[in-house]
Amino acid sequence: MSHTPDPTPASIVADWLANLNSALQAKDVAAATELFTEDSYWRDFVAFTWNLKTFEGKGQIAQMLADRLEHVAPSQWAMAEDATGDTENTEAWITFETGAANGYGHLRLKDGKCWTLLTTMQELKGFEEKKGVRRERGVAHEITRGRKSWLERKEEDQARLGYEEQPNTLIIGGGQGGIGLAARLRRQGVPTIVVEKNDRAGDSWRNRYKSLHLHDPVWYDHLPYLNFPDDWPVFAAKDKIGDWLEHYTAIMELNYWASTEATKAAYDEAAGEWVVEVKRDGVPVTLRPKQLVFALGVSGYPNVPDFDGKESFLGAQYHSSKHPGGGDWTGKKAVVIGSNNSAHDICADLWEHGADVTMVQRSSTHISRSESLMDLGLGNLYSEKALANGVTTDKADLLFASLPYRILPDAQKPVYAEMASRDAEFYDSLAAAGFDLDFGEDGSGLFVKYLRRGSGYYIDVGASQLIIDGRVNLATGQVTKITGNAVVMEDGSELEADVIVYATGYGSMNGWLSDLVSPEVADSVGKCWGYGSDTTRDPGPWEGELRNMWKPTNVENLWIHGGNLHQSRHYSKYLALQLKARMEGLDTPVYQRQASHHTH
């Protein structure tokens, strides 16, 4: 009698992939859907949808497959490496192909059926990056008269683009996001110009307050293709980051137009291209790219509240983005309105330089101690421990992406419950000082709050202790007015001030579109950032992905790119592939473009 071997994680995954492959080859949507659990999730980055989409439940998955199988032609599903877990909960990295591309993904099975599936496009067939064995030779080993050096060819190409030849893609904004995306587009062979109003690449970091350091650890912050050196500090200073971005721009040979400001953009329907007016070193230039990318950060213009009496204040007042840092504040009274990252950093900076500082907290704030966040929140993905376990930055990015936003809060809650327990004394001390704490609206903590709102938190690197000790004063509640020398609170108390810093955040990215293109285009695009939820704080349809980020918007050939260093690095890959496919004239039918809800 033959003995059937006991199932292993590898055999369970292999069977599932074989069954999926057979069902998809036969275009048997019902058979394919039966391989998923009732509460399953399929998150796709470009491979099946030419979009960033999450499908929830068997019904949505079946509908997507019915609509897309003919176009996508998926095949060759296989394990990329050994499966992990056990027979009940099994995980695996997988590879697959579509008609247009090679893909990579992540699979979670529960009792042999799929609970979560992540599919990502990795490279377009026939348009693979010229790396590894495909790398260019660099020089022809033959002696000819008049041949040009690498530098001459590079300088000629950069002088020609934007004048004699137009770029395929124009990126407005030359910070970390624009630079990383431009590097990916260069590797894809997409002629690209980045315009940046500052004088040098990296100035968006250099121009911030002197004490600023990254709050995220180094393993989380690499740029595409080029990791920081392995002796790089865990938390780099802002000028160090600025220098790195400048060197990266040179090493990656980007067409980077510093001292250039975009003043107007409009779409020429007849020509199928954008007409963008810029001033380069004060000289007007008209660019006509096919694709226009706004890479201006996570936020729009600085948000400065219009408090009654503000114009009567006799001291200095400015937004946190204008805070220089340093200086001698001895004997001066400073009021910082706000309680998020920049507010804490600026309070600490002012206190260090002699000021009598008061923080005004107008709404509850989440605090994560940096050490706890690195250990509990990031340690399994972005750390030396993770690297030792074979979790590269690319794998960490994909693992993080493998949890759809619908289930991410529940996955994060235990992390922050543990943090609350571990740091209970710290939190008790902050509460005793009068600080209004939260762990997100549902206990899911920092990153989910960042995704939902882009604000409302502080990663503690020391300023919280100043509040606990009373070295930085704390006032909670709303501001009712400003007088010549004070901030007046709703309870009637007056906070004397020689300087007021408005650490009050930023408006929507939508504001850039309104001013540079038109209010109508901004309204057509709709809200940028955040994802739909049932809360009153962030109403709107559930999209399953961040609104309008890194994917087709409702305005053809207009794209939004941004996020922190981790998001800019990871999602720039999928945006670059979408842009490359359009440049090459591939068929890119976008599946389920974002709903048109105009809240911004």
- pLDDT of 538 above 60: no
**Six token digits for residue 453:** 């709102």
What's the pLDDT score for residue 600?
Answer: 37
Query: 57 and 171 share a domain?
Result: no
More confident position, 527 or 501: 501
Q: Are 46 and 118 in contact (CB under 8 A)?
A: no
- Give the separation between CA 476 and CA 534, rounded to whole angstroms: 28
Assess whether 199 and 66 both reside in one domain.
no
Evaluate if residue 30 carries a pLDDT over 80.
yes
Which CATH number fits the domain that encloses residue 580? 3.50.50.60
Token couple for 533: 């939820």
Instruction: Give the tens place of pLDDT for each residue, 76-98.
Output: 999 999 999 999 999 999 999 99
Backbone angle region of 371, left / alpha / beta, with phi > 0 → left and psi within -120 to 50 → alpha: alpha
For range 488-497, the mean pLDDT = 96
User: What backbone torsions phi and psi does residue 106 show, to the nearest 5 degrees?
Assistant: -135, 140
Q: Looking at the domain assignment, is residue 492 inside a domain? A: yes
Least trusted range by pLDDT, from 240-249, 483-492, 531-540: 531-540
Q: Are residues 189 and 200 in the same domain?
A: yes
Query: Residue 52 sits in a domain of what CATH number?
Result: 3.10.450.50
What is the spatial distance between Cα 600 and Cα 584, in angstroms, rounded to a whole number?
A: 34
Q: Evaluate whether residue 590 is within a structural domain.
A: no
**Quick check: is 36 in a domain?**
yes
Instruction: Tell whether 138 is covered by a domain.
Output: no
Q: Is 294 found in the same domain as 208?
A: yes
The parent domain of residue 335 ranges over: 303-349+477-503
- CA nearest to 561, candidates 288, 308, 298: 298
Mean residue pLDDT across the chain: 93
Output the pLDDT for position 535. Answer: 46
How does DSSP assign 114-172, residue by residue? EEEEEEEEEEETT---S-GGG----S--S--TTPPPHHHHHHHHHHHBTTTB--SEEEE
pLDDT for position 252? 97
Q: Between the CA of residue 64 and those of 51, 55, 67, what are the distances in Å?
A: 12, 8, 5
Is the residue at 331 inside a domain? yes
DSSP element (H, E) containing 265: strand 260-268
Is the domain of 404 the same as that of 328? no
Span 301-308, average pLDDT? 89
CA distance 347 to 335: 8
Residue 101 domain flag:
yes
The pLDDT value recorded for residue 6 is 87
pLDDT of 142 above 80: no
Q: Helix/strand/coil (H, E, C) string of 275-343?
A: EEEEEECCEEEEECCCEEEECCCCCCCECCCCCECHHHCCCEEEEHHHCCCCCCCCCCEEEEECCCHHH
Q: Are residues 280 and 258 in the same domain?
A: yes
Cα–Cα distance for residue pair 441/453, rounded to 1 Å: 11
User: Mind listing the pLDDT tens digit for each residue in 385-432?
Assistant: 999 999 999 999 999 999 999 999 999 999 999 999 999 999 999 999
At 110-123, the pLDDT tens digits run 999 999 999 999 99
- The pTM of the full predicted model, rounded to 2 decimals, is 0.93
33 inside domain: yes
Residue 401 near residue 549, CB atoms below 8 Å: no
Q: For residue 285, name the pLDDT band (cuts at 50, 70, 90).
A: very high
Residues 107 and 53 in one domain: yes
Q: Note whether 580 and 190 are within 8 A (CB).
A: yes
**Separation between Cα atoms, residue 347 and residue 231, nearest integer Å:** 30
Number of domains in the chain: 4
Both 545 and 469 in a single domain?
no
- Work out the number of other CB atoms within 10 angstroms of the CB of residue 352: 15
Confidence of residue 146 (pLDDT cuts 50, 70, 90): confident
Same domain, 381 and 400: yes
Indicate whether 407 and 532 sit together in one domain. no
Task: Judge whether 535 lies within some domain.
Answer: yes
Q: Do residue 256 and residue 178 come from a single domain?
A: yes
Which of 104, 124, 144 terminates a domain? The answer is 124
Task: Specify whether 98 is located in the same domain as 179.
Answer: no
